[in-house]
Chains A and B, each alone.
Chain A
Amino acid sequence: MRRYILFRLLQFIPLLLGMTFVSFIIIQMAPGDYFTQMQMNPDVSPQTIENMRRTFGLDRPVVIQYFFWLKNIFRFDLGVSFSYHIPVSFLIKQKLKNTLALSLFSIFLTWLIAIPLGIFAAIKQGRWHEKILSFLAYIGISLPAFLIAMLMVFFAARTAILPVGGTTSVFYIGATGWEKFLDYLGHLLLPGLALTFAGIGGLYRLMKNNFLEVLGAPYIITARAKGLSPVKVYFKHTLRNAINPMITIFGYTLSSVLSGAALVEIITNWPGMGRLMLDAVLSQDLYLVMASLLIGGVLLIVGNLIADVLIAFVDPRVRLR
């Protein structure tokens, strides 16, 4: 088992290198660099800009730059942001915390709702319960997250039920720890629910289809022929097998956390990685972009590893290979 995980980890390293290299090339393909815009500024002398380029290493060939960056990564040095003039790691830390809080909240809620509904619908396949749920799922799948976010902002602003934008209220200073937490949660609710609603439909459908497929498996006939109760047939024999593919999905979900939440963050004004990344890409803030992509890649690996371990845990065919 341990060897298997190590093997999987090793498999990911070339991919991660490939991905960071490709992103490096893409960003450098853009005309000019961060300092090009600075040249427009008459207060900054061309000499200063030249010096700054040299300090950041931008005067060297792309491949050399990439290897310098890579070398620094192994020393846990993500570089310095051009626009903020502070270490990227420092800049990302706070934003990443907010993004992770948002994503984990919505993932948790999505799974909590979609999985039971999927199972319920599979059991009621063809009946009106399932038809209504599946129709709603269609609507959910077809409503993009950004639109849901906009609709929610609209209703929140109209009704003033939920706070819109930011992570804290004005009375935040002086609040106790518990109040601070509730306040944070309150602000998290709007983007969190928007992401949740956008995710439920797809996950529901996956779960329903998996469950239906397993229900058609021969060993379910065996279970019925034994005279087991529906509870045992569904929740012991079917669920244990239907959950396997969902674990793989879970791994992927974890990896798409950054990307999936970005647009919703921008629309609901949640101070996460989304806005930071948008600005970084547009201003060619090289090391900031690279760090974000690296985090995305690492999350993918972590997600996949968690999925691998969980699958080995629930499936003896993988565990006892």
Chain B
Amino acid sequence: MEKVLDVRELKVALRRDVHRSETEILKGVEFSIGKKESLALVGESGSGKTLTAMTVMGLLPENMSVKKGEVLLCGRDILKMSQQELRDVRGVKAGMIFQEPSSYLNPVFTAGNQIFEAIKDTSLSVKEKKKRCIDVLKDVGFTEDIYYRYPHQLSGGQQQRVMIAIALVNNPSLLIADEPTTALDVTTAAGIIELLKILMERYGLSLLFITHDISLVSNFVDKIAVMYAGRIVEITDAKMTMDMPLHPYTEKLIACLPERYNSGEKIKTIEGSVPDFHNLPSGCPFHPRCPYVMEICRKSEPPVVKKYGILVRCFKYGMSMET
């Protein structure tokens, strides 16, 4: 299958000026998304999900740098592109929407203005461009008058739909959604998810959906990649994950979901906390919180193994690739 996004062995480091040292935040992230396929990147905050997305957009903050790896977007490595080439790719090949639409929209320009300026096709006349804006506004469920509204005149859900319109105005192959529903209330969030489903169909989109809520995506995306401390620890078919989590961390994430409780039962949490990047535990970074911890987990990092067709990083499933 043709791959829209292929991330290979991606390593990203943070420079710390005070100590003039570097800390690796992404430690070899690997996943791929096929055409019209959707993948959810799931993990606690601080696991490196957003950083992965920003790398794909070529929008790393200045104190971060890519140490290794390839990010192939529609077959071209964006890490090797010049700034100009990157700008040509952004919006055209991949669009992105964010967590808090209210702060990600510029308060002093109208919604229309912000969609309009995103259009990359220079062959279009002003009139055609405006028509394209209104078309995409209609696609996200608006009428024409939203074009002239300022962000502060819109509700959170409306703002997020304007963001989607901005991201889709150039017909990109990939949409990156970084926790697009977290800042919205439940009903609005459901509306956004529904809209994304419809738009994926209509635009033939591939989707990279980032969330900390595994239940939100389990029956909506094709694949789920679980991230922990800068690594993907498990990539599975979304339908399988909920019933058969392999990695102890995935298992814990699912066990904590509120809908899994019977009434009166005590709420579960994962003991311990997300490790500090500057001070990671030895061996498997999850071992201090893992109920199945073995001696080897403390000493060395688990390799990727394939179990029941699922890629997982855990010593529970042996040391090497099963064939």
Contact = CB atoms under 8 A, between A and B. Distances in A.
B95 A240 contact: no
Given A316-B150, A317-B150, A222 B90 contact: no
Among B109, B153, B163, which residue has the most Cβ atoms of chain A within 10 A?
B109
Interface in B277-314: none
A214 to B, nearest CB: 10
B164 interface: no
A316 B107 contact: yes
Contacts of A73: none
A279 interface: no
Interface residues of A, number: 22
Interface in A219-263: 219, 221-229, 232, 236-237, 240-241
Contact of B87 (A222, A227, A315, A317): A227
Nearest to A241: B108
A133 B117 CA distance: 33
A217 B91 contact: no
Nearest to A233: B87
A218 interface: yes
A172 B104 CA distance: 60
Nearest to B62: A126
B108 to A, nearest CB: 5
A225 B96 contact: yes
Given A217-B103, A219-B107, A241-B107, A228 B150 contact: no
A316 B151 CA distance: 9
Contacts of B114: 222
Contact of B59 (A225, A228, A240): A225
B91 A317 contact: no
Q: How many B residues touch the partner, as a band?
A: 20 to 34
A320 B103 contact: no
Contact of A320 (B59, B96, B150): B150
A227 B59 contact: no
Contacts of B106: 219, 222-223, 237, 240-241
Given A225-B96, A226-B117, A240 B108 contact: yes
Nearest to B83: A230
B204 to A, nearest CB: 20
Nearest to B89: A227
Nearest to A227: B90
A27 B100 CA distance: 56
Contact of B163 (A222, A236, A314): A222
Given A219-B105, A222-B106, A240-B106, 11 more contacts: A219-B104, A223-B106, A225-B167, A226-B117, A227-B120, A228-B87, A228-B118, A236-B117, A240-B109, A241-B107, A320-B150
Interface of B: 57, 59, 86-92, 95-96, 98, 100, 103-110, 114, 117-118, 120, 150, 152-153, 163, 166-167
